[in-house]
Amino acid sequence: TAYKIAVLPGDGIGPDVTKEAVKVLEVLKKQDPTFDIVFEQFEWGSEYYLAHGHIMPEDGLDQLKNFDAILFGAVGDKRVPDEVTIWELIMPIRKNFQQYVNMRPIKRLAGIESPLKNEQPIDFMVFRENAEGEYSNIGGRLYQQHSQEMAIQNTVITKQGVERIAKYAFEYAQKNNKSKVTSATKSNAIIHSMKLWDEVVELVAKDYGDIELESNFIDALAAYFVLRPESFEVVIASNLFGDILTDLGAALVGGLGVSPSGNINPEGNFPSMFEAIHGSAPDIAGKGIANPIAQIWSAALMLNHLGREDLSTAIVDAIEQVIQEGNVLTPDLGGTSTTQEVGSAIAEKVLKL
Ligand code: NAI
Ligand code: MG
């Protein structure tokens, strides 16, 4: 039976790059008789919000919940507050579908120039906690009528929340023959929530005696990402720390245009969602020059999640070949090609593999 995929192209460059990802998946479907996939597109995003006053229908989550996976473009539009696009679309999907693992590979493909002089391979996985942490809507503004105005924004760290992301990371490490997991913390200064994070991570690590646990303060860890990126294998981080670390990591391996992600529901009781880590890129939207590689690679992560590791690898190999050949690339990678040309070049490679 066919995999059922909900496609949410969103705003800005989201639709452009998502179209190319779907193109590559359609090519695989034609080529491989054992692989079937069907798409249903949902036009939710800023245009929908401007027309309807809400960013998705009231029963939006119900409409999505029976799909095998979601392929998401990006949302964000200057006519709509970011808190609407983030808190009324992305966050409800991540939280309600219990996509508590945000997986973000940091891998330098052959042919990608890193801003670092260091030529060692960079290839590690960051697991960002995706359901709680610093991105909470708990808190508020106080003393609004006085001159001393104050804002409080609470972080939520639960034992269960840390346990499940840590377990996922250690299981991944074990399955993939990794020897070390690095935890991002700041328990020297954030003494309540980050201490609980540390305690729970250490407890989980005890069940995986053959895997080393390294714990670094986030500020130092950011520096180590630049100084010795080759030393990382698996990194776990809270929602905010992971968000920042992965944009930094992306910059080391070619930038946002080539950096994929998956929002994973490990239990499989709801669909997982796959998206490039970049946003809607209003500065280049409509110009046809957005790099589709991040979104095509996200589609590859989706196939891996659906159990087709073979097809996932075929897509990443095709991407790597196109980058290495170097004559069909978008401007962010130093080329002059369009989004569609890069998508087609990757689709052609997939056909030949
Ligand atoms: P952004 O990721 O959209 O853009 C940052 C920079 O990277 C820009 O210069 C852009 O041109 C470049 N860039 C991004 N993707 C690219 C691609 N595929 N190819 C070539 N260049 C690319 O982040 P920014 O500008 O901070 O946010 C823009 C909007 O996107 C905001 O409304 C923000 O809230 C939203 N956003 C949405 C996300 C999502 O849907 N998951 C994630 C991040 C931001
Ligand atoms: Mg981000």
User: Which ligand 1 atom sits nearest the alpha carbon of residue 86?
Assistant: 34
Any idea which ligand is nearest the CA of 244?
A: 2
Q: What is the pLDDT of residues 148-192, one digit of tens each?
A: 788 999 999 999 999 999 999 999 999 999 999 999 999 999 999
Q: Using CA atoms in the order 135, 137, 143, 148, what is the torsion angle rounded to 10 degrees?
A: 10
**Residue with CA nearest ligand 1 atom 22:** 257
Mean pLDDT of the chain: 95
- Let me know: does 181 contact 170? Beta carbons within 8 Å: yes
The per-residue pLDDT for 60 is: 97
The per-residue pLDDT for 136 is: 87
Q: What is the pLDDT of residues 270-280, one digit of tens each?
A: 999 999 999 99
Helix (H, G, I), strand (E, B) or coil at 213: strand
The per-residue pLDDT for 286 is: 94
The per-residue pLDDT for 144 is: 66
The fraction of the chain above a pLDDT of 90, given in percent, is 89
Tokens for 67, please give them.
Answer: 């799909």
Q: Mean per-residue pLDDT for 332-344?
A: 97
Q: What is the pLDDT of residues 73-87, one digit of tens each?
A: 999 999 999 889 888
Instruction: Tell me the CA–centroid distance for residue 119 and ligand 1, in Å.
Output: 27
**What is the dotted CATH code of the domain comprising 114-253?**
3.40.718.10
Q: Mean per-residue pLDDT for 42-64?
A: 96
Q: What is the pTM of this model?
A: 0.94
The per-residue pLDDT for 113 is: 83
The helix (run of H) or strand (run of E) holding residue 141 is strand 139-142
pLDDT at 206 over 90: yes
Domain spans, the chain: 1-108+259-353, 114-253
The per-residue pLDDT for 238 is: 98
Instruction: Tell me the CA–centroid distance for residue 195 and ligand 1, in Å.
Output: 33
The per-residue pLDDT for 352 is: 78
pLDDT at 48 over 80: yes
The per-residue pLDDT for 119 is: 78
**Residue with CA nearest ligand 1 atom 40:** 74
Helix (H, G, I), strand (E, B) or coil at 18: helix
Fold of 1-108+259-353: Isopropylmalate Dehydrogenase (3.40.718)
Q: What is the pLDDT of residues 313-326, one digit of tens each?
A: 999 999 999 999 99
DSSP code at position 112: P
The per-residue pLDDT for 83 is: 87
Nearest one of 181, 335, 180 to 258, comparing CA atoms:
335
User: Which ligand 1 atom sits nearest the alpha carbon of residue 76?
Assistant: 32
Query: Going by DSSP bridges, is the β-strand pair 234-237/180-185 parallel, antiparallel, or unpaired?
Result: parallel
User: Which ligand 1 atom sits nearest the alpha carbon of residue 295?
Assistant: 18
Q: Mean per-residue pLDDT for 52-75?
A: 97
Tokens for 108, please give them.
Answer: 């330098």
Q: Give 271's Cβ-side CA count (13 Å radius).
A: 23
The per-residue pLDDT for 146 is: 63
Q: What is the pLDDT of residues 3-31, one digit of tens each?
A: 999 999 999 999 999 999 999 999 999 99
pLDDT at 330 over 80: yes
Q: What is the pLDDT of residues 34-47, one digit of tens each?
A: 999 999 999 999 99
Ligand 1 in reach of 74 Cβ (< 6 A): yes
Q: Mean per-residue pLDDT for 32-61?
A: 96
Helix (H, G, I), strand (E, B) or coil at 353: coil
Q: What is the pLDDT of residues 87-132, one digit of tens each?
A: 899 989 999 999 999 999 999 999 998 888 777 899 999 999 999 9
